Structure 1
């Protein structure tokens, strides 16, 4: 009997347990229990379910290899917590991207989708961030082997992380998430966990899938997808198999005007995302400020505040960018002998990401009295609130609306070749491989980016009008000096050779065979970024053409693992890995674990491991550059508390985006970590499994970008990070990467799986996966005070206290349905003085499907059935405002339909 639940699979598995006693083991391929029989040539999953009842059989199982262990074994139960997600089941619920898939893992802290590319040159990347300790501390694998990291990242915590969008979704069979540190086996950077995307092993038939998603609100955001797969050759009979999978997906952009919850000015709740760089421009002379429209600020997109006119960028912002994703995965496998196989696989993926933001700001300008547009010269009205000295210039901060919105397009391309040999020699199972990975990001500007030097020249000559409509000659001048084309190319490459052998080495204590694994790896990493000279003429890009950089390193590693059954009920494991970095020396990291089954219904497990993460090539070599702060701030000296002080100027010092110097740091030191897990799995009856897995993580010397908000919130403590000009105003602040101190986080993962007794109207099931965070304390300086982020927006984000996914399912022959609740608790907002709490966020999804004649699968449903808007937040860390796109979805209620034809 086989019963499928959306998101997991329940099936019987015959497993060998202590003293070779053969019993049936019922497991669930998601959450608490997760195991199934698998062929010996494939990376397969782990198990966590308890044995139900003895029943002698004679079936001889093949060995399986599990994520979290290098030892191939016939007993599928292990000591580490694994979550398994099957893409075939999730597709029936409308999940069609890896970013959506990772939202179903409650240990993943943020959504991390392409919305983060709005205003940030990430190539439209999506990242996983297990435990919220940084995407660069979650190791992402494809079939158990590394991928190249994204060559560009929007935030430094993503530098050195894999872009999930580059993984060919249609080729994935399942995803195994090891919710535990695994530095001893997979690499020193696997601190937050390991996500192993496992492709289909072979295909002997074909499929064609067409689907689409449509929000019920008017506007954009709709998506379409198409995938196809085909393969031929039976590996056992024909001694070969060739397969290929193709996937194409496109999504329309979603404009801020299409959603009412996106706001940039709610002063009563602490939200002011407007800009002091306006159009018509504000102008200053001495301590005075004015605008040609007067204090009423009646122009388009203008808001009156602090005696000046501020500019609302909302009408120009994308909540979601326009994306186009194409991927291909191909694999050829052949038998070299009865016990030897060779395979060659290749994948290619490309993501085109188009983004729109507000017209560029140009600050620090002056306009001489000789200009025809000088206030009071006849075209531009003079000030009414102060007497202008007509012999002196005025200061101008100008929004370049005449050039239009800034539009850019990033192209992100990844590819990998992997050659693998596996088999058995003299009782040793071996697997060796050689691979080449590459990720390349092209950053292009397509519209709205005008030469700074040309505009400054145009202002000085009197050709450009910063206070009103341009003349024909002025507009022609702006159009003629607009840049188009690629301004930066970033490339990351990884070449690797690896191998491992494993075998049983005897029964030491009469409780079962001891497993031993030995392995090694060599890889060469390279990073290169080149920036065209003309990019330096666009201050709003925040790049320095003189900072083209390159870096490389080589890493060698050796590891060993042993698994020892001590008693029928107790199993001990130990692993150790030694890594040598060409730029950071050597490190040795152990892992110890146990599995104890005092009674057949209960399994206890635990592990201790150590980690070491060297700074990535991106973090070391990302050039220093100057850009604008993400949020608006008051100069703590000249505009204290939003009130202009002597020497200050409201149009310059209050509620402004100041310049920020940031980037990589060649003086970074490695991060070190310790992980502890302790878990319990209880299966009192055959169809019910419950689990608790407690986890503790401590990281020393955490690498982070210093939060810009802290510079302004604590100006005395961080006075060295505020650089002032000769007139006393802020020239720029300094953030950048540094080893900021320690981080301590802990919590518990909760799992419950229940399959109700069979009824005359079908099979019902219930699955709960949840994560409760008990602690998230971090330091912003070495030896500094700890700051608690659990349920409280601190620094640049928040750690949710509780997240869960709850799925109720129904299966009746060819029919199926599922109802899913995705829930996240609320938290204290960014600015609690004006908006105390961000409410909890709960979404309900409903899906139904039917299989016709075993050849056509049709699934349809509704995501966000009750059309829940993202809750209000006054956070100032993203270009989108009024909510936090890192933790919520702006699409609203979305209908989906998908059909798959098998041939």
Structure 2
């Protein structure tokens, strides 16, 4: 983090709990997140949390994603760990109020701004900004509005707004270097940053920043909490049916011995592969970020500015060896000795007539000989903005800007991904051995099947022109009526390409014909007025009209009332509506095949995990305890009109109080409520198998698919459809659609207390907490309401209580702070057990050696607590939930910085 040249003060934890002994008097008027109007700095009219750069440095924070974990209202689920096994570009997100936990679409309902203006969303889903694209070294503060703001910013601002405010004036050279490492090894972080700026007498000001960060991979086997999927004596649930040696038609030649070290005997007498022991807990990742800003004072209150932000983010993830189903004819050299009844007829793949069948079997195998799957995701992002601002007559001001933001992401397979067609040929010809060690010829055949290439890419652009006018609309007996008016025009385009050869890489789950692109134009008008109602009471009214050329027009109004019964007590409340249109990716999402998050049982052939009478061993292997294929898609890929996907609509309400009972104590309490209708997302696969009577139509069986070549999915695309005699499941169809509604409410608590200041130093305490009282959702319109607070639902839990508590001491050149982060426990994915609360403590010691040099020593997870045990199956990592907990352990950090 950059060095502040002024003296270091305890950072504000919240606007609500700003330093209560700050100087009174005429405060400068600034634009506060959530409003177009300029208000006095420190205004407490809205629930806003503020994280300042100096505070983040004290905590050893090295990325913006890490910084946002100190926001109690954030229930973010996505960071680099989520890229293990997922094609998400390695992005990181923020999810205020946890709206993405139950409604899907990740963090699409939290708007991320940079200096009050939009960034382009990540091209892979178009739903949210990758916060890795913002250089932390250039950040002054992060303002988090814990209220809806569609009336000001338009779409997506349903759960709240995160506005990252960059430093404006730098007149020095600031350089910092730091390293962070765990006492258990793995995950080493190294970072270097440079910020430089100056100004001259002719009115020119400039600033540039460079932020470089690298983190080494942390293999799952390096931590006790993540080294195995065999938990609580269960050898089935978090291990895989696909192992090495392989099985054939449900018969496992290696059982009961099983190959060590990662193969164990399951409860059904078959060997299970402990893949969790072979993946990354945290993949290697790298960030390269830069900022250049130039400003020219034109005189008479006018200024011209230009800035460019650039980032490159790369993740290299290991998700273990691939699994595959391959046909093997009897009589080949490696065909195992099997008991009677195991051998069945399989298609004669390479004979003169492929419709004929020969004796053999379907081999289910983990391709260890090909090595672990190593995949990289590289994302380039940038925004160029040219702005003009100045003062007009009559006290009015104007601000306008034109700019372009871009983001592109590329996924490459580096090793461990092999061509299924070549592997099938090698097994059929007797070169490749799925049941033991490879011969030289077999290993050469596997190496020849390795694929190292780009498999998918995406790009997104956003062109914008905006204009804002601010001033006093009129004078009343109670004072002026400040007003703001704005116009905005945006053009958005996105494209998504999938390489032609991915159809032979089944473990990727991509469709070779999935290229898609789209575009849209948005025009908006918005206004905001502040009406004085009494000496200590005012009313803010705002509304915004957005017109999308592909989905229509949306009106978003909001009213906010503020009353100060006494100089030290403020009451505030707001009501507004919001909306979220389907993203371009939602509309044009290509068809893709993945797998269910957990092993499931075919409700027809294996109800409740028990095979029906007469079901063969081979068919049982395809129906009981299987990760079935899942098809995802948007309306365009399904031949449906784009209008079939309607925008989400929302209502938000807040009521709060800010109180200073004594000059050194500040207390804030806010109650909030959000209601979302027509939620855009995909039904969770667990819902289909939990209630097959309602969702059984989502299950597509082999008999429903056409045979032979042709367009779309065919029976030949699914090996399960070409083996056995039963009508097994081909895939589960889970398209993007409008689901049901969501209703959630809770409260936020903020407290800051300056305990004492004097010769012994300055002692202060700060607490920011959020309690979710209810979070109910429907899987479809008119469906049953399901509670998600403290319960692992369709895709995870909504945490009931989170807080960050900090105790700070400052004296002279020394500053010491300790903090506690608390995340409440919840009912696990398996309802019979509970995940305990996650409690970690951090320590920071800062010493200003001289006017030039500053050193900061940090310890994260001071007491070296393991992440809470969880039996979740949504992630490749096992033993904990990587979306909610950090497996790294105790981490020591040292930063040395200089300003000159």
Q: CA deviation at 1:246?
A: 0.2
1:480-515 alpha-carbon deviations (Å, 9 max, x no partner): 12111212110011000001001013331x222210
Corresponding residue for residue 32 of structure 1: 16
Secondary structure of the residue aligned to 2:765 is strand
Corresponding residue for residue 89 of structure 2: 123
Question: Contact 2:8/2:54 (CA < 8 Å) preserved in 1?
Answer: no
Aligned mate of 2:277, from 309, 315, 330: 315
Determine the C-alpha separation between the residues in 1 that align with 2:402 and 2:44.
28
| Structure 1 range deviating more: 477-486 or 65-74 | 65-74
Corresponding residue for residue 840 of structure 1: 837
Determine the C-alpha separation between the residues in 1 that align with 2:539 and 2:22.
22
Determine the C-alpha separation between the residues in 2 that align with 1:636 and 1:680.
52
Q: CA deviation at 1:7?
A: 3.6
Aligned mate of 2:60, from 94, 117, 130: 94
Determine the C-alpha separation between the residues in 1 that align with 2:533 and 2:15.
27
Question: Contact 1:741/1:779 (CA < 8 Å) preserved in 2?
Answer: yes
Cα 1:395–1:75 change in 2 (3 A) is closer
Cα 1:304–1:652 change in 2 (3 A) is farther
Aligned mate of 2:210, from 220, 224, 246: 246
Question: Contact 2:245/2:259 (CA < 8 Å) preserved in 1?
Answer: no
Q: Does 1:106 find its partner at 2:77?
A: no
Q: Does 1:660 find its partner at 2:630?
A: yes
Question: Contact 2:15/2:44 (CA < 8 Å) preserved in 1?
Answer: no
Q: CA deviation at 1:34?
A: 4.4
Corresponding residue for residue 155 of structure 2: 188
Q: CA deviation at 1:238?
A: 3.4
Determine the C-alpha separation between the residues in 2 that align with 1:651 and 1:430.
69
Determine the C-alpha separation between the residues in 2 that align with 1:540 and 1:74.
56
| Count of aligned pairs | 842
Determine the C-alpha separation between the residues in 2 that align with 1:267 and 1:731.
32
Corresponding residue for residue 320 of structure 2: 358
Determine the C-alpha separation between the residues in 1 that align with 2:609 and 2:662.
63
Secondary structure of the residue aligned to 1:709 is helix
Q: CA deviation at 1:388?
A: 5.1
Question: Contact 2:154/2:556 (CA < 8 Å) preserved in 1?
Answer: no
Question: Contact 1:52/1:686 (CA < 8 Å) preserved in 2?
Answer: no
Determine the C-alpha separation between the residues in 2 that align with 1:816 and 1:78.
27
Aligned mate of 1:264, from 220, 229, 238: 229
Determine the C-alpha separation between the residues in 2 that align with 1:196 and 1:722.
43
Q: CA deviation at 1:465?
A: 1.5
Corresponding residue for residue 893 of structure 2: 896
Corresponding residue for residue 460 of structure 1: 428
Q: CA deviation at 1:389?
A: 7.1
Aligned mate of 1:695, from 655, 666, 672: 672
Q: CA deviation at 1:469?
A: 1.5
Q: CA deviation at 1:76?
A: 4.7
Taking the TM superposition and a 5 Å limit, the aligned residue runs for 1:710-789 are: 710-726=687-703, 727-789=726-788
Q: CA deviation at 1:141?
A: 0.4
Question: Contact 2:344/2:361 (CA < 8 Å) preserved in 1?
Answer: no
Determine the C-alpha separation between the residues in 2 that align with 1:194 and 1:271.
42
Q: Does 1:341 find its partner at 2:303?
A: yes
Give the unaligned 5+ runs of structure 2.
Answer: 1-5, 101-106, 346-357, 636-641, 704-725
Corresponding residue for residue 798 of structure 2: 799
Secondary structure of the residue aligned to 2:693 is coil
Aligned mate of 1:582, from 537, 549, 555: 549
Q: Does 1:866 find its partner at 2:863?
A: yes
1:185-210 alpha-carbon deviations (Å, 9 max, x no partner): 11122111111001111211111100
Secondary structure of the residue aligned to 1:455 is helix
TM-score between both structures, scaled by the size of structure 1: 0.91
Q: CA deviation at 1:303?
A: 1.9
Corresponding residue for residue 353 of structure 2: none
Determine the C-alpha separation between the residues in 2 that align with 1:3 and 1:203.
15
Taking the TM superposition and a 5 Å limit, the aligned residue runs for 1:66-465 are: 66-74=32-40, 76-110=42-76, 112-134=78-100, 135-153=107-125, 159-218=126-185, 220-234=186-200, 237-262=201-226, 263-266=228-231, 268=233, 272-284=237-249, 289-305=250-266, 306-363=268-325, 365-376=326-337, 382-383=338-339, 392-426=359-393, 427-465=395-433
Cα 1:300–1:77 change in 2 (3 A) is closer
Question: Contact 1:270/1:831 (CA < 8 Å) preserved in 2?
Answer: no
Q: CA deviation at 1:33?
A: 3.4
Question: Contact 1:676/1:696 (CA < 8 Å) preserved in 2?
Answer: yes
Corresponding residue for residue 597 of structure 1: 564
Q: CA deviation at 1:361?
A: 1.2
Q: CA deviation at 1:851?
A: 0.5
Secondary structure of the residue aligned to 2:757 is coil
Secondary structure of the residue aligned to 1:415 is strand
1:361-407 alpha-carbon deviations (Å, 9 max, x no partner): 112x321113121223xxxxx34x86757972122112111111010
Corresponding residue for residue 827 of structure 1: 826
Taking the TM superposition and a 5 Å limit, the aligned residue runs for 1:500-519 are: 500-508=468-476, 510-519=477-486
Corresponding residue for residue 807 of structure 2: 808
Corresponding residue for residue 485 of structure 1: 453
Aligned mate of 1:632, from 599, 617, 622: 599
1:57-77 alpha-carbon deviations (Å, 9 max, x no partner): 6x6x54322111111234752
Determine the C-alpha separation between the residues in 2 that align with 1:648 and 1:368.
19
Secondary structure of the residue aligned to 1:718 is helix
Question: Contact 2:702/2:728 (CA < 8 Å) preserved in 1?
Answer: yes
Corresponding residue for residue 710 of structure 2: none
Q: CA deviation at 1:654?
A: 2.6
Give the unaligned 5+ runs of structure 1.
Answer: 9-28, 36-48, 154-158, 377-381
Secondary structure of the residue aligned to 2:692 is coil
Cα 1:530–1:388 change in 2 (3 A) is closer
Question: Contact 2:18/2:752 (CA < 8 Å) preserved in 1?
Answer: no
Cα 1:74–1:763 change in 2 (3 A) is closer
Secondary structure of the residue aligned to 1:507 is strand
Question: Contact 2:229/2:277 (CA < 8 Å) preserved in 1?
Answer: no
Secondary structure of the residue aligned to 1:748 is strand
1:544-595 alpha-carbon deviations (Å, 9 max, x no partner): 1211000100000001110011211101110010000011111111000011
Corresponding residue for residue 528 of structure 1: 495
Secondary structure of the residue aligned to 1:265 is coil
Question: Contact 1:438/1:492 (CA < 8 Å) preserved in 2?
Answer: yes
Secondary structure of the residue aligned to 1:745 is strand
Corresponding residue for residue 26 of structure 1: none
1:296-349 alpha-carbon deviations (Å, 9 max, x no partner): 324442222212222111232101010011000010000111300010000110
- Aligned CA RMSD, in angstroms, stands at 1.9
Determine the C-alpha separation between the residues in 2 that align with 1:721 and 1:636.
12
Question: Contact 2:276/2:876 (CA < 8 Å) preserved in 1?
Answer: no
Determine the C-alpha separation between the residues in 1 that align with 2:274 and 2:605.
24
Q: CA deviation at 1:290?
A: 1.7
